[in-house]
Amino acid sequence: MLGADAIVRCLEEEGVEYVFGYPGVAICPFYNSILDSSIQTILIRTEQNAAHAASGLARVSGKVGVCAVTSGPGATNVITGIATAFADSIPLVCITGQVNSALLGSDVFQEADITGAVESFVKYSYLVKNVNDIPRIFKEAFHIANTGRKGPVLIDVPIDIQNAELKKFVYPETVSMRTYKPTVRGNMAQIKKVVAELDKAKKPIICAGGGVLLSDAEEELRAFSKKHKIPVVSTMMGIGAMPTKDPLYFGMVGNNGKPYANRAMNESDLLIMVGARVADRAVSQPDLITENKVLVHIDVDPAEIGKNVGPTIPLVGDAKHIFEDLTAQEMVCDHEEWLETLAGYRESMAPKRNPNPEYVDPAVFITKLSEKMQDDAIYVADVGQNQIWSCGYHIVKDGRFLTSGGMGTMGYSIPAAMGAKLADKSKQAVAVCGDGSFQMSMMELATMNQHDIPVKIVVLKNNYLGMVRQYQHFTYKDNYSVVDLSGSPDLEKLAAAYNMDFLRLTNMENVDEAIDKFLAEDKSMIMECIINPMDLV
Amino acid sequence: MQKKVFQLLVDNTSGVLSRISGLFSRRGYNIESITAGTTADPRFTRITIVASGDDEILDQIEKQVAKLVDVRDIKELRPDNSVYRELALVKVRTNEVQRQGVISIADIFRAKIIDVSADSLIVELTGNQEKIEAFLNLLGGYEILELARTGIAGLGRGTENVTYL
């Protein structure tokens, strides 16, 4: 058995169904071996999107997403995708081909020191030097990627190692790593302290981050919140941890969040932050969430606790287990008054918009779209104004909301929606992007077409890089610089060129019919919505 | 700003030192010295790092380093409970008149003369950082041509908190 065959066997052992990638000479042995496997290969049109697609798949399936690209430029192109996954703690295994190991370090054709280059964006990386290490390395890589605080792992495999003969293939049943042992269960003494504080609290609140979704703890969070009537807000990455319409849910916090969500968090006397980094966009003034309140910080990564704010009670562990343990504890929680206050804030502080009737109003459109989408649909927001509108107006029922929150990588939505769709073909997958972010990934229309991946794409078109234009509006007094998107393609013709259906919505007149038509069939489609170029989020 | 000495036990993998030093540089942590060498068990390397920063930064350093997959153990070597040693090699310009003066200072510090030439001496000194600083201060009247310091290596006293391999 060759090294390349062994890699494919490892992926089979891990239950991998799809590999997203782009071949080149240095990864050709692997792509030759995979022909004999039932694993499906998806030829992405640029390597960055291989990682994004793997990320979409990972987030919906809970399994590790896999991509495989060639050495040199293939490997360096995938870095943005890896960094995006790292910022959002998404489990990936990225396989990169590498030049012959005897030539490493001599700057030969298509050589790049990829393990060195990705060092600050991966949870771990390997450069395979001995073909017999392949089973152990892959076992470890999948384990590291999908345990503890999840994240991408890169495996760089020189072509001679892929072509070398393996003595014997034995896939290890367990991982024996001397150094890597993440804490999963929360410390009981700390949990008891949280319970004691909850007993006393008059105004408790939970702020759910992406960690809740990563540990598949939505049910446990909802059960705990419901049992003790504790209100919940979320970060951008935590959207979907609670259904949007749940009476106990009070929206997204942060400088792009709901004013009433921030007020709820700031006025609470007990704040339980879970699976959230307390980063600048979610909490711009960390002192507001530590003053006059007890801060409980739950995270599987001990380094996140105390990084941006010093908590009163640190609690290291996996959100799922910790909510199970918390729900099992008895406590007195009586704060009807607090819930009434928050409901009042939600009513009185709801943001008001004055849409221009000559255009599609993205807020109303997104709400209508998400109401008409299937309950378990996957909504992928891109980056820019579209992302902020999506966060503000998308209604999560029983589905998922995906976006690049940490890195804010434009072009994420289309490839991620493709990966999400492949993870569960029974679900609707809708990518919502702007005309800027669409053009960063529009080459993937070919991938959808080739591999029959029915993703719905909404393009909110305003002919501007809207988020930057908005920033220049406020910061540089409308002195617009390099934000005009003139020259963009005619999307109707583009859709036709890729054999896709197309719809254009220019105002709100026929919005219901248009959305119904857009969602009717399980096939890929582009819907262009003409929005007010001067609109602000 | 405070200073802390950390002792790490890490898997002896290729690139482990660059992973650790890369973590310090990209997060903007101050590293004053770093020394590394294999332990009695060649699968592991022991690293001693002297880092400086305020309390929060030093706490983050400990947690972020602990998070690296290759790191098996990190602990602080507290001054009251540990021994630190550093080796310094000092090349001093000496003529016949000056030579004896340098040798006398070296004697007081129990340093060794390990090389003599017509116009220079190399002195080897082992000790904690204060001792080495004091020695260098006393050599202030002479011309130091070259100085090589290893950075400190350290161990905790006694058998408590020993990380068994």
Instruction: Confirm or reject contact between A119 and chain B (CB < 8 A).
Output: yes
Q: Is there a contact between A303 and B11 if contact means CB atoms under 8 Å apart? A: no
Residue A52 banded pLDDT, cuts 50, 70, 90: very high
Superfamily the domain B2-76 falls into: ACT domain (3.30.70.260)
Residue B164 banded pLDDT, cuts 50, 70, 90: low
Output Rg (C-alpha) for chain A, integer angstroms.
Answer: 24
| Cβ–Cβ pairs < 8 A, chains A and B | 40
Q: What is the pLDDT of residue A196?
A: 95
Q: Is there a contact between B15 and A180 if contact means CB atoms under 8 Å apart? A: no
Nearest C-alpha neighbor of A316 from the set A190, A414, A211, A439: A190
Domains identified in chain A and CATH numbers: 3-162 (3.40.50.970), 188-348 (3.40.50.1220), 362-530 (3.40.50.970)
Which candidate from B11, B22, B64 shows the least CB-CB separation from A179?
Answer: B11
Distances (CA, A) of A209 to A173, A272, A282, A286, A319: 33, 11, 10, 16, 10
Strands B44-53 and A456-461, by their bridges, are unpaired
- Is the distance from CB of A416 to CB of A485 less than 8 angstroms? no
Chain B CB contacts of A123 below 8 Å: 69
Disruptive mutation site among B10, B41, B57, B63 for chain A (greatest number of A CBs within 10 Å):
B63
Terminal alpha carbon distance of chain B = 34
Q: What is the pLDDT of residue A320?
A: 97
Chain B CB contacts of A180 below 8 Å: 69
User: Which residue of A lies nearest to B73 if distances are taken between CA atoms?
Assistant: A179
Q: Is there a contact between A302 and B63 if contact means CB atoms under 8 Å apart? A: yes
Q: What are the φ/ψ torsions at residue A317 (nearest 5 degrees)?
A: 160, 180
Among residues 128-147 of chain A, which lie with CB inside 8 Å of chain B?
144
Chain segment A71-126, per-residue pLDDT in tens: 999 999 999 999 999 999 999 999 999 999 999 999 999 999 999 999 999 999 99
Q: What is the pLDDT of residue B115?
A: 97
Write down the domain spans for chain B: 2-76, 84-153
Size (chain A), residues? 537
- Is the distance from CB of A1 to CB of A12 less than 8 angstroms? no
Which candidate from B10, B14, B67 shows the least CB-CB separation from A303?
Answer: B67
Strands B112-117 and B120-127, by their bridges, are antiparallel
The H or E element containing residue A242 is: none
Separation of alpha carbons A109 and A217, rounded Å: 47
Angle between helices A319-328 and A218-228 (to 10 degrees): 30
Q: Is there a contact between A303 and B60 if contact means CB atoms under 8 Å apart? A: yes
Chain segment B70-114, per-residue pLDDT in tens: 999 999 999 999 999 999 999 999 999 999 999 999 999 999 999
Q: Is there a contact between A115 and B67 if contact means CB atoms under 8 Å apart? A: no
Does the pLDDT value for residue A517 go beyond 90?
yes
Average pLDDT over residues A188-201: 95
- Angle of CA points B127, B132, B133, to nearest 5°: 145
Distance of CA A457 to the CA centre of its chain: 17
Chain segment A129-165, per-residue pLDDT in tens: 999 999 999 999 999 999 999 999 999 999 999 999 9
Interface of chain B toward chain A, CB-CB under 8 angstroms: 10-11, 14-15, 18-19, 22, 26, 43, 56, 59-60, 63-64, 66-67, 69-72
Domain B84-153 has CATH 3.30.70.1150: yes
Q: What is the pLDDT of residue A134?
A: 98
Contacts of A51 (CB under 8 A, 6+ apart): A20, A65, A67, A78, A80, A81, A82, A84, A85, A92, A94, A152
Q: What is the pLDDT of residue B14?
A: 85
Count of beta carbons in the 10 Å neighbourhood of residue A32: 16
Chain segment A257-303, per-residue pLDDT in tens: 999 999 999 999 999 999 999 888 888 888 878 888 999 999 999 99
Does the pLDDT value for residue A415 go beyond 80?
yes
Angle between helices A79-87 and A47-61 (to 10 degrees): 30
Q: Is the reported ipTM for this assembly greater than 0.90?
A: no
In angstroms, the separation between the Cα of residue B110 and the nearest Cα of chain A is 41
In angstroms, the separation between the Cα of residue B54 and the nearest Cα of chain A is 13
List the structure tokens of A146: 């999908």
Give pTM, 2 decimals: 0.95
Whether the domain at B2-76 and the domain at B84-153 fall into the same CATH topology? yes
Q: What is the pLDDT of residue A393?
A: 97
Chain B CB contacts of A302 below 8 Å: 63, 66-67
Q: Is there a contact between A127 and B14 if contact means CB atoms under 8 Å apart? A: yes
DSSP A85-132: HHHTT--EEEEEEE--GGGTTS--TT---HHHHTGGG-SEEEE---GG
Chain A CB contacts of B15 below 8 Å: 115-116, 127
Residue position matching structure tokens 């105004």: A203
Q: Is there a contact between A306 and B18 if contact means CB atoms under 8 Å apart? A: no
List the structure tokens of A141: 């890589």
Chain A CB contacts of B42 below 8 Å: none
Q: Is there a contact between B63 and A123 if contact means CB atoms under 8 Å apart? A: no
Chain segment A290-340, per-residue pLDDT in tens: 888 999 999 999 999 988 888 899 999 999 999 999 999 998 888 999 999
Instruction: Confirm or reject contact between A344 and chain B (CB < 8 A).
Output: no
Provide the mean pLDDT of chain A.
96
Residue position matching structure tokens 């530590």: A290
